Amino acid sequence: MRIYTSCIIDATEELNASISGLEGASVYNIPYNDIGIVSSDLSGKVVTDENTVMTHEKVIETLMEKYTVLPMRFHTVFRKEENVILMMQRLYDEFKINLQRLCGKVEIGLKVLWNGKEVKARIIEGMNGDGSIRQTNGASPGRNLLEEKLIEYRVDNAFEHEADRNIEGINNMLNGYIADRSYKRLQTENLLLDAAYLVEKERIAHFREIFGKIRTTYCDFRYLLSGPWPPFSFVNIEKHDYSCPQYFFFDTQQDIKRYGG
Amino acid sequence: MISKTRDITLLEILDRALNKGVVISGDIVISVADVDLVYLGLKVLLSSVETMEKLRGAPFAEAG
């Protein structure tokens, strides 16, 4: 029987609620020192489909109502309970630090979209107006090419500057309401901001309130606000190189091949 | 037609559950490789919210 792990919690007690994990199996807590890892027995292979991912999330969300949770990445499976305990033993300090840092907090997701093409068009219009873009009619093809590249470079720079300015504005409005943030900017031309914010549970309403103001202030943008989520984006566990042959940490597909996966 | 809310929720969950949290590998190596392969496929979809918009054919809206 293999062990499917859902999350680390800040408690050693048995779980009161009846929670079903993958394959409909009951989840239970495996205690280690003063923390625990919520797991369930797994008889077959995990099918990586929509339902199993949703079940993984649902288990963690249910536990999040009562405990501080460190969500495990989907599909973290161990051959036997001894290996789970070994992992807990080796990472206990890091789990503990993370649990303390994330106590009473949740993650809220925010995606902000703008119309990248329109923003670039406005930038080019502005550059034409102030003479930043010079006409090169009659110049040699080489000169024209260089000018085009230079214009492209300037437009891209201005575009990124505009993105940074807006992101800074949004983040500044949220600053007093969050404990931490993690974000990526311009993953695509239109995806201005893809952010996760760590928010104290008691401040979720305040966060939503200030989000309403952001929508008003930046009314040309479109938004996707989601959550509260377990704090997936704020778990900070360093990867370790274990020499124990029964316990490997794989970083890449190359590592998996090297160790015979 | 995909349910808008479920579609968005699933994408948000996938974005988190497949790549974030306590990212260590258990000792069922083949399964981990499977997930990574699945993830590579999903990443293409997840990398663009715009793709989601096109699939749905409706304006992007607040989900939560």
Task: Write down the pLDDT at residue A16.
Answer: 78
Task: Write down the pLDDT at residue A168.
Answer: 97
Residues contacting A78, CB < 8 A, separation 6+: A2, A3, A5, A84, A87, B26, B27, B28
Q: What is the pLDDT of residues A8-30, one digit of tens each?
A: 999 999 997 789 999 899 999 99
Mean pLDDT over A114-141 rounds to 80
Residues β-bridged to residue A182: A196
Query: What amino acid is encoded at A208 in this protein?
Result: R
Q: Which residue has the higher pLDDT, B60 or B64?
A: B60
Q: What share of chain B is helix, strand, coil (3-state, %, to 5)?
A: 60, 0, 35
Helix axes B4-17, B49-56, angle to 10 degrees: 160
Q: Which residue has the higher pLDDT, A195 or A131?
A: A195
Signed CA dihedral, A75, A81, A85, A86: sign only = negative
Check if A110 contacts B (Cβ < 8 Å): no
Task: Identify the closest residue of chain B to A76 by CA–CA distance.
Answer: B26
CB contact under 8 A, B33 and A253: yes
User: Which of A102, A101, A98, A90 lies closest to A33, judged by CA?
Assistant: A90
Whether residue A215 is predicted with pLDDT greater than 90 in this model: the reply is yes
Q: What is the pLDDT of residues A71-94, one digit of tens each?
A: 998 888 888 899 899 999 989 999
How close is the nearest chain B Cα to the Cα of A217, in Å?
Answer: 16
The b/e string for B6-45 (b: 16+ C-beta within 10 A; e otherwise) is: eebbbbbbbbbbbbbbbbbbbbbbebbbbbbebbeebeee
How close is the nearest chain A Cα to the Cα of B57, in Å?
Answer: 15
The H-or-E segment that residue A162 falls in is: helix A141-174
Whether residue A193 is predicted with pLDDT greater than 90 in this model: the reply is yes
Whether residue A207 is predicted with pLDDT greater than 60 in this model: the reply is yes
Mean pLDDT over A97-119 rounds to 94
Check if A116 contacts B (Cβ < 8 Å): no
CB contact under 8 A, B50 and A8: no
Query: Measured between alpha carbons, how far is A108 from A198 in angstroms, rounded to an integer?
Result: 6
Whether residue A232 is predicted with pLDDT greater than 90 in this model: the reply is yes
Instruction: Outline where DSSP puts E strands in chain A.
Output: 2-9, 27-32, 35-42, 69-78, 105-113, 180-185, 191-200, 222-229
Residues β-bridged to residue A70: A8
Tokens read off for A196: 């996760």
Task: Identify the closest residue of chain A to B27 by CA–CA distance.
Answer: A78
Mean pLDDT over A119-146 rounds to 78
Task: Identify the closest residue of chain B to A98 by CA–CA distance.
Answer: B22
Residue A187: pLDDT band with limits 50, 70, 90: confident
Whether residue A241 is predicted with pLDDT greater than 60 in this model: the reply is no
Task: Write down the pLDDT at residue B26.
Answer: 60
User: Which of A40, A35, A41, A42 lies closest to A8, judged by CA?
Assistant: A35
Task: Write down the pLDDT at residue B5.
Answer: 62
A200 and A174 in contact (C-beta within 8 Å)?
no
Whether residue A261 is predicted with pLDDT greater than 60 in this model: the reply is no
- ipTM strictly over 0.95? no
Q: What is the pLDDT of residues B24-55, one digit of tens each?
A: 766 554 344 455 445 544 554 444 445 545 54
Percent of chain A whose predicted confidence (pLDDT) is above 90: 61
The H-or-E segment that residue B30 falls in is: helix B29-46
User: Which of A82, A236, A35, A49 lies closest to B23, judged by CA?
Assistant: A236
Task: Write down the pLDDT at residue B7.
Answer: 65
Q: Which among A109, A113, A250 has the least Cβ separation from residue B25?
A: A250
Q: How many other C-beta atoms lie within 10 A of the C-beta of residue A191? A: 19
CB contact under 8 A, B62 and A225: yes
Whether residue A244 is predicted with pLDDT greater than 70 in this model: the reply is no
Whether residue A102 is predicted with pLDDT greater than 50 in this model: the reply is yes
Average pLDDT in chain A: 86
Q: Which among A222, A235, A261 has the least Cβ separation from residue B20?
A: A235
Whether residue B59 is predicted with pLDDT greater than 80 in this model: the reply is no
> Using CB atoms and an 8 Å cut-off, which of residues 119-178 of chain A contact chain B?
none
Q: How many other C-beta atoms lie within 10 A of the C-beta of residue A9? A: 24
Q: What is the pLDDT of residues A37-64, one digit of tens each?
A: 999 999 877 777 788 888 999 999 999 9
Task: Write down the pLDDT at residue A133.
Answer: 65
Query: Measured between alpha carbons, how far is A69 from A61 in angstroms, rounded to an integer?
Result: 9
Residue A201: pLDDT band with limits 50, 70, 90: very high
